[in-house]
Structure 1
Amino acid sequence: MHQQEIWNTDTARHYDTPGTGMFAPDVLGPAVDRLAELAGGGAALEFAVGTGRVAVPLAERGVPVTGIELSPPMVEQLRTKADETTIPVVMGDMATSTAPGRYTLVYLVYNTISNLLTQAEQVQCFRNAARHLSPGGRFVIELWVPELRKLPPGQEATVWQSEPGYIGLDTYDVLHQLVVSHHFRFDETGQARLSRSPHRYIWPAELDLMAQLAGFTLESRHADWTGTPFTAESRSHVSVYTLCNPAVALE
């Protein structure tokens, strides 16, 4: 599965769920509030901007936002909400593509760094964030914690969400640190629509080492956007890194 195949026209058309899921006010609102605070009055760059779930409300808060995005269909959906002047987008890979200018904030939300399927690409993504930041700028990553404690010996899959109309499960390849997420969505007739996406999962400590290799230090880590303490039981985290050594990203 290539990323271009996953983020196609059909996916883009069904991606937005206004008012529910990751578009629910109690999910999206705290993320936008925190990112606006971290931007500190400067400009922000979103890696994998997608349909503008975060970029559009952040721009409406007065934060200048630029995006990098691999998928033309996702950007087409974004353009129904904001034009190129409001949210400029550079088409390309978040690990290598560059946007003009310097930013006080680069952010990567909703587990998207795991779409890069090798450790080398993920490290490259950190270096790319550093290249875009002003000294002292911040790189923010929202990421899930691998749920391997739920995986008994000999079992390869876990159900991570089950609710009316939707079942989500992950199948793990623990040898290669890979997981495929399977999303089953049921319509009113009971028919199911399946979509899948591959990921490389990252432990928090490994993420911190990637940051160090790119010249960052960890500023804070919380379990969510509202500042809930991060513990051994947390299922996700929001990690804020500060660029302390910009020269490292150029090595």
Structure 2
Amino acid sequence: MVNGDAPKDPDGYFPERIAADYDRSSARMFTPEVLDPTVDFLHRLAGDGPALEFGIGTGRIALPLAARGVDVRGIDLSEAMVARLHAKPGGDQVPVSIGDFATTTVGAGGEFTLVYLVFNTVMNLTSQDAQVDCFRNAAAHLAPGGRFVVETMVPDLRRLPHGQEAVPFHVSDTRWAFDRYDVVTQAMSSNYVEVDPETGHGSYWTIPFRYVWPAELDLMARLAGLRLRERWGGWAREPFTGESGQHVSVWEKPAGP
């Protein structure tokens, strides 16, 4: 995970209290029907070379990919999340550099066949400049012919009526969650309100994002010297259409001039 642009608090948005519950609260993302197609896709692209995960978190993708024989390394800003990764079986064999994946470097550069960034995490970079830097950083880590993979949502502004800035995505008796959008700056946030039914005490948690369009990502890739190779509507290589709610995009670093 990455916490915006050069944050002062390294674990600001993913502290221990969030890291401790992250896998449980994201349990659906660990199910075989979600996880297996993702790992299959990335395993094919990694080939025999090492892979680098931007925003490695608790190792949802890195650990099963490493179990298939891929040399996986990672970058993450949250020490609390990485501690959860390293406490899992095999997690201590996955090297992780603590830092912002828009600028943090691993190794001498130009050695990875695959760099990947999943689950909307590119939007944790909350400015266009930081997102551009992320693409440049990915390109600097890639060997010629290497691939940079990003999974992220397609901004769903069609759900936002004129004059409204918030869209709920979870409503229950004790938990409410909603996204807020600023269509001028492309800033958004996911906001969570939870109430303990026994005590009546509540908590509030917000995560800032910057939503980004597929064509905008293609331009960022071009600025970094990468070219679009393929784009899908999901990890199972579903066609990408005007109705797709997400995309999995693959950019390639040219093998020669």
Query: How far 1:19 sits from its partner (Å)?
Result: 8.6
RMSD: 2.3
Distance in 1 (alpha carbons) for counterparts of 2:92 and 2:107: 14
- With normalisation by structure 2, the TM-score equals 0.88
Distance in 1 (alpha carbons) for counterparts of 2:239 and 2:201: 40
Instruction: Verify: 1:195 aligned to 2:202, yes or no.
Output: no
Count of paired positions: 247
- With normalisation by structure 1, the TM-score equals 0.90
Structure 2 spans left out of the alignment, 5+ residues: none
The answer to whether the Cα contact below 8 Å between 1:215 and 1:246 also exists between their aligned partners in 2 is no
Instruction: Verify: 1:119 aligned to 2:128, yes or no.
Output: yes
Q: Per the alignment, in what secondary structure is the counterpart of residue 93 of structure 2?
A: coil
Instruction: Verify: 1:44 aligned to 2:51, yes or no.
Output: yes
Instruction: Verify: 1:65 aligned to 2:72, yes or no.
Output: yes
Structure 1 spans left out of the alignment, 5+ residues: none
Distance 1:89 1:232, change over 3 A: same
Distance 1:166 1:126, change over 3 A: same
Partner of 1:204: 214
Partner of 1:13: 20
Partner of 2:39: 32
Distance in 1 (alpha carbons) for counterparts of 2:171 and 2:41: 29
Distance 1:7 1:229, change over 3 A: same
% identical aligned pairs: 49
Distance in 1 (alpha carbons) for counterparts of 2:193 and 2:237: 31
The answer to whether the Cα contact below 8 Å between 1:142 and 1:239 also exists between their aligned partners in 2 is yes
Query: How far 1:169 sits from its partner (Å)?
Result: 1.6
Distance in 2 (alpha carbons) for counterparts of 1:246 and 1:191: 60
| Runs (4+) off by over 4 Å | 82-85, 161-167, 184-193
The answer to whether the Cα contact below 8 Å between 1:172 and 1:180 also exists between their aligned partners in 2 is yes
Instruction: Verify: 1:130 aligned to 2:139, yes or no.
Output: yes
Query: How far 1:206 sits from its partner (Å)?
Result: 0.3
The answer to whether the Cα contact below 8 Å between 1:141 and 1:239 also exists between their aligned partners in 2 is yes
Residue type at the aligned position of 1:146: P
